[in-house]
Chain A
Amino acid sequence: DAGITQSPRYKITETGRQVTLMCHQTWSHSYMFWYRQDLGHGLRLIYYSAAADITDKGEVPDGYVVSRSKTENFPLTLESATRSQTSVYFCASKRRRGRELFFGEGSRLTVL
């Protein structure tokens, strides 16, 4: 009963490098989301996806790329990491008609 899993849990990288955070869910939920959590800002939506091959921007999409070729996976890529992207990233999923978000345990990214 894995639910929703994120990897890696911790990542340290350098400015300018490409980083991909993985998210996998076993519930076949239609919707998947990527949030970043920063002190004083709460959770801010980066991108979301309503179904495979359907993605849309959230509040803070700049510098991020997502894809969703399969319903269960929703990777988030930082094409050229910057220090301002140091954060804790949370993936979440939701049933099509549900209200509740189910979150992963988070990926802590540090960009040096």
Chain B
Amino acid sequence: TQLLEQSPQFLSIQEGENLTVYCNSSSVFSSLQWYRQEPGEGPVLLVTVVTGGEVKKLKRLTFQFGDARKDSSLHITAAQPGDTGLYLCAGVAGANNLFFGTGTRLTVIP
């Protein structure tokens, strides 16, 4: 089992604030994905990062893959209530081996 730890586990912030979520592992991954899950639904892919050091932006969300391909971060600028949800990182270690992190539950208060 390749453990992916996310921090913080829970995060409650006011609308307009910035935040960063971390995803750490001792294992190297060929790529890393971030998913968002809303209550009563399945996770939906936000982004895949492949190259060590890669940075991808999706509107107010910035994703970074660590240089050593063992960790990743998700930064949200000026959070909005619509960003509320469970954020899951997932490390890809082969064609079919996707290991999910424990998740960060974000609540953005209007």
User: Taking beta carbons and an 8 Å cutoff, which residues of A are in contact with B?
Assistant: 31, 35, 40-45, 48, 50, 56, 59, 90, 92, 99-101, 103-106
User: Taking beta carbons and an 8 Å cutoff, which residues of B are in contact with A?
Assistant: 1, 4, 31, 33, 35, 40-45, 48, 88, 90, 92, 96, 98, 100-103
| A41 touching B31 in the complex, CB below 8 Å, given contacts A31-B96, A101-B45, A105-B41 | no
- Which residues of chain B are near A43, meaning CB under 8 Å? 43, 88, 90, 100
Interface centre among B40, B43, B90, B101 (most CB of A within 10 A): B43
CB distance from A44 to the nearest CB of B (A): 7
Candidates B33, B40, B42, B92; contact of A103 at CB < 8 Å? B42
Q: In the bound complex, what is the Cα–Cα distance between A100 and B100 (angstroms)?
A: 13
Instruction: Name the prevailing secondary structure of the A interface residues.
Output: strand
Q: In the bound complex, what is the Cα–Cα distance between A70 and B85 (angstroms)?
A: 34
Q: Which 9 A-B pairs have the closest CB atoms?
A: A103-B42, A43-B100, A42-B100, A42-B102, A100-B45, A103-B43, A90-B42, A42-B103, A99-B48
Q: In the bound complex, what is the Cα–Cα distance between A99 and B50 (angstroms)?
A: 11
Asked if A42 and B101 make an inter-chain contact with CB atoms under 8 angstroms apart, the answer reads yes
Asked if B40 and A59 make an inter-chain contact with CB atoms under 8 angstroms apart, the answer reads no
CB distance from B4 to the nearest CB of A (A): 8
Q: In the bound complex, what is the Cα–Cα distance between A59 and B43 (angstroms)?
A: 19
Candidates A45, A50, A92; contact of B42 at CB < 8 Å? A92
- Which residues of chain B are near A103, meaning CB under 8 Å? 41-44
Asked if B40 and A106 make an inter-chain contact with CB atoms under 8 angstroms apart, the answer reads yes
Q: In the bound complex, what is the Cα–Cα distance between A42 and B104 (angstroms)?
A: 10
Asked if B42 and A104 make an inter-chain contact with CB atoms under 8 angstroms apart, the answer reads yes
Question: Residue on B with the closest CB to A60?
Answer: B1
